[in-house]
Amino acid sequence: GAVVSQHPSRVICKSGTSVKIECRSLDFQATTMFWYRQFPKQSLMLMATSNEGSKATYEQGVEKDKFLINHASLTLSTLTVTSAHPEDSSFYICSAPSASEGTDTQYFGPGTRLTVL
């Protein structure tokens, strides 16, 4: 299957700082990537759809000015959590679709665990 990487895998930062998370499709191109957030023992929540060459589409309730998304190329999307606060501590996961056997299959990155002190 297709491979998606994320960096960093884990980050600890102070409240008020900004954190950038990178998502890369390693062996395929992705015009669209997805960003999810998952709190402990809860299900995946789609935050936004990242679109190469255009603005991201945010889900209801997700602050676009706080979670900045940039889809710089066909293999890279970044999520910047601005002015992070402890309540932003979560597991952030990206995914990218790759065509496989007649359907778009989403492959997930390994995730980034953010802890805001």
Residue closer to other proteins (CB basis): 67 or 107? 107
Spell out where the chain has E strands.
Answer: 4-7, 10-13, 19-25, 32-38, 45-51, 57-58, 67-73, 76-81, 90-100, 103-108, 112-116
Shortest distance (Å) from residue 16 CB to other proteins: 27
- State the pairing for strand pair 90-100/112-116: antiparallel
For other proteins, the closer of residues 44 and 82 by Cβ is 44
- Pick the closer one to other proteins by CB: 34 or 67: 34
Nearer to other proteins, 62 or 82 (CB): 62
Residue type at 10 in one-letter notation: R
Q: How near is the Cβ of 104 to other proteins at its closest, in Å?
A: 6
Residues 1, 20, 67, 78, CA torsion sign: negative
Q: Under the rule (CB under 8 A), what is the footprint of other proteins?
A: 1, 32, 34, 43-44, 46, 49, 91, 93, 97, 100-111, 113
CB of 77 vs other proteins, minimal distance in Å: 14
Q: CB of 83: closest distance to other proteins in angstroms? A: 26
Alpha helices in 23-76 (DSSP H): none
What is the number of other CB atoms lying within 10 angstroms of the CB of residue 36? 20
